[in-house]
Amino acid sequence: MPAPREHVVVVGAGLGGVRTAENLRSRGYLGRITLVGAEPHPPYDRPPLSKQILTGAWEPDRAVLRDKPGLDEIGVSARLGAAAVALHGTTVELEDGARITGDAVVLATGVAARRLPGQPDGVATLRGLDDALALRDALAEARSLLVVGAGFIGAEAAHAARLRGLEVIVLEAGRVPCERALGPLVGELAARLFREAGADLRCGAGIARFTDARTVELADGTTVSADVALAGVGAAPALTWLDGSGLDTAGGVACDAGGRASGADDVWALGDMAAWWDPVRRRRHRAEHWTSAVDQAAAVACAITGAEPPPPAVPYVWSDQFGLKIQVAGRTDLADEVVPLHGDGLDGGPVRGTVVGYFAGGELVAVAAFGAARYLPRYRSLVAAGAGPAAVSAVAGELRSAATR
Ligand SMILES: Cc1cc2nc3c(=O)[nH]c(=O)nc-3n(C[C@H](O)[C@H](O)[C@H](O)COP(=O)(O)OP(=O)(O)OC[C@H]3O[C@@H](n4cnc5c(N)ncnc54)[C@H](O)[C@@H]3O)c2cc1C
């Protein structure tokens, strides 16, 4: 039997890092836990940044995951405001020169906002609390917002700006918004949400360059400007600090299906930065989803404490856009067929209440729901079971008749 671990060093004091510490304690781990975080703020949750914080509904303290007393309560020693700059075996080196050695290291340093080539510094990005507060303040003074990228964060920012009465222009290089998460057909529903909310959404917009921090030149030579510009063009793990660690960091830290970093016995990685082996896709996959970081933190804590791992969960992501919750459960990227299950959104009817099933080889692999949260749990279990069209349509019929009773 391996010797019990006495010190776990968790690098990254965001969602995955905090959840790892909480799970270690709830599974009976009694050793030391050190939590290292680059930002000076107490660990906070990111989804509210582009929602309640940007709209002004919340002040930042409501997004805090655990403040100092909360960390003390679970016996976590936090080193905040000190980025890790190197990893040697299980020794983490910090920017202030400190070296912390654990007998297990958990990496959870998330991702950094992608920038377009030549992007001026004055163009906003939205990844951390400081970004959200700066953008909130800029929107309060502005009459217009230019968003480059109609993914989830671009859409949520566009919604917050419309709520504040700003004119909003959104440039999207792809065919539809949120195409990676929803696919081209269902992404049309997201496009309608932008337009119905009064945002000027321009898909297929080839962006040549920013000419300044508020102006974009398009491939056809025309320019678009606004008082504030936001680049919402995705994110990527910032892993240069792991150069020299011996870990495989191409496309995220490469891990097995339980989060153990490839080739390293005592190092795990999770959350947005980690590419875990996905037995369903039969390749490594990196997800930037809240629920994925939470599930992976539980699995890693089990591995470190020697507990039975939790069963694999169906992937899940949500986004709040234009007054409606979009939820996706499963792997839409596997689908070869898309079938409406509830609502008439795909036929031009209201987007709200529309639920769509994604099938691959006759099995349900994902479901997307637009303002139809009550239906999702049933379909999530059908996705987990890989249900066929007959079982799915029977459940759809049952739910429809329950809704009319
Ligand atoms: C604005 C916004 C809105 C979102 N909304 C949703 C949503 O609606 N639904 C959804 O499913 N997901 C959403 N997400 C994604 C979700 O928040 C992430 O998937 C989740 O936070 C991932 O957790 P993590 O621990 O991997 O990374 P994070 O929570 O990002 O934590 C990483 C931490 O590591 C720190 N760090 C980075 N480098 C170092 C270093 N070298 N040394 C030490 N510390 C370091 C960072 O400062 C950060 O605190 C949103 C993300 C953002 C940015």
DSSP 245: S
Q: Fold match between 7-111+237-305 and 323-404?
A: no
Candidates 35, 46, 111, 156: which one to mutate for ligand 1, based on the most atoms within 8 Å of Cβ? 46
What is the Å distance from ligand 1's center to 155 Cα?
A: 18
For residue 94, the ligand 1 atom closest to its alpha carbon is 42
Sequence letter at residue 9: V
Tokens 């440039």 belong to 171
157: Cβ below 6 Å to ligand 1? no
What is the rounded distance in angstroms from the CA atom of residue 116 to the CA atom of residue 171?
A: 13
65: Cβ below 6 Å to ligand 1? no
pLDDT tens, position by position, 37-55: 999 999 999 999 999 999 9
Q: β-pairing, 215-218 with 207-212?
A: antiparallel
What is the rounded distance in angstroms from the CA atom of residue 54 to the CA atom of residue 251?
A: 30
pLDDT value at residue 53: 98
Look at ligand 1, atom 5, and give the residue with the nearest C-alpha.
47
**Cα–chain-centroid distance for residue 32?**
29
What is the Å distance from ligand 1's center to 212 Cα?
A: 28
- CB-neighbour burial class of residue 77 (10 A; exposed 0-12, middle 13-18, buried 19+): middle
Predicted confidence band at 94 (pLDDT cuts at 50, 70, 90)? very high
What is the rounded distance in angstroms from the CA atom of residue 24 to the CA atom of residue 295?
A: 13
Angstrom distances, CA of residue 239 to CA of 84, 91, 110, 243, 262 = 11, 16, 9, 7, 15
Helices 290-305/15-26 angle, 10° precision: 40
Could you write out the DSSP letters of every residue in 327-370? Answer: EEEE-GGG-SEEEEEESSGGGTS-STTEEEEEEETTEEEEEEEE
Q: What percent of the chain stands above pLDDT 70? A: 99
Look at ligand 1, atom 7, and give the residue with the nearest C-alpha.
47
Average of pLDDT values for 200-216? Answer: 94
CA dihedral 112, 116, 120, 125 (to 10 degrees): -40
What is the Å distance from ligand 1's center to 128 Cα?
A: 8
Residues facing 320 on adjacent strands: 325
110: Cβ below 6 Å to ligand 1? yes
Contact partners, residue 363, CB within 8 Å, separation at least 6: 386, 387, 388
pLDDT at 67 over 70: yes
pLDDT at 1 over 60: no
375: Cβ below 6 Å to ligand 1? no
Look at ligand 1, atom 53, and give the residue with the nearest C-alpha.
127
**Domain 323-404 homologous superfamily, CATH:** FAD/NAD-linked reductase, C-terminal dimerisation domain (3.30.390.30)
Contact partners, residue 404, CB within 8 Å, separation at least 6: none
Predicted confidence band at 206 (pLDDT cuts at 50, 70, 90)? confident
Could you write out the DSSP letters of every residue in 142-178? Answer: -SEEEEE--SHHHHHHHHHHHHTT-EEEEEESSSSTT
What is the Å distance from ligand 1's center to 130 Cα?
A: 13
For residue 288, the ligand 1 atom closest to its alpha carbon is 19
9: three-class secondary structure by DSSP: strand
Candidates 9, 10, 11, 15: which one to mutate for ligand 1, based on the most atoms within 8 Å of Cβ? 15
**Could you tell me which CATH number the domain at 7-111+237-305 has?**
3.50.50.60
What is the Å distance from ligand 1's center to 290 Cα?
A: 8
127: Cβ below 6 Å to ligand 1? yes
- Are 305 and 289 in contact by the 8 Å Cβ rule? The answer is no
What residue spans define the domains of the chain?
7-111+237-305, 114-233, 323-404
pLDDT tens, position by position, 373-394: 999 999 999 999 999 999 999 9
Look at ligand 1, atom 52, and give the residue with the nearest C-alpha.
46
pLDDT at 275 over 90: yes
What is the Å distance from ligand 1's center to 111 Cα?
A: 7
Q: What class, spelled out in words, does domain 114-233 have in CATH?
A: alpha beta
pLDDT at 266 over 60: yes
pLDDT tens, position by position, 362-373: 999 999 999 999
Question: What are the DSSP E strand ranges found in 205-323?
Answer: 207-212, 215-218, 223-225, 228-231, 235-236, 253-255, 267-269, 274-278, 283-285, 316-321
With vertex at residue 306, the alpha carbon angle to CA 304 and CA 307, rounded to the nearest 5 degrees, is 110
For residue 39, the ligand 1 atom closest to its alpha carbon is 47
For residue 319, the ligand 1 atom closest to its alpha carbon is 8
- Are 148 and 209 in contact by the 8 Å Cβ rule? The answer is no
Terminal Cα-to-Cα distance of the chain (whole angstroms): 58
For residue 16, the ligand 1 atom closest to its alpha carbon is 25
Average pLDDT over the chain, rounded to whole? 96
Average of pLDDT values for 336-361? Answer: 97
- Are 171 and 202 in contact by the 8 Å Cβ rule? The answer is yes
What is the Å distance from ligand 1's center to 312 Cα?
A: 21
pLDDT value at residue 2: 64
Angstrom distances, CA of residue 381 to CA of 59, 210, 288, 298, 359 = 36, 45, 22, 20, 14
Q: β-pairing, 267-269 with 274-278?
A: unpaired
Average of pLDDT values for 86-112? Answer: 98
Look at ligand 1, atom 29, and give the residue with the nearest C-alpha.
14
- Are 133 and 44 in contact by the 8 Å Cβ rule? The answer is no
- List, as own/partner pairs, every contact residues 206-209 make where C-beta atoms lie below 8 angstroms and the sequence separation is at least 24, other chains included: 206/173, 207/116, 207/148, 207/171, 207/173, 209/116, 209/117, 209/118
For residue 46, the ligand 1 atom closest to its alpha carbon is 17
pLDDT tens, position by position, 163-188: 999 999 999 999 999 999 999 999 99
pLDDT at 83 over 60: yes
Average of pLDDT values for 54-58? Answer: 97
What is the Å distance from ligand 1's center to 144 Cα?
A: 28
Candidates 272, 295, 296, 322: which one to mutate for ligand 1, based on the most atoms within 8 Å of Cβ? 272
Q: β-pairing, 274-278 with 283-285?
A: antiparallel
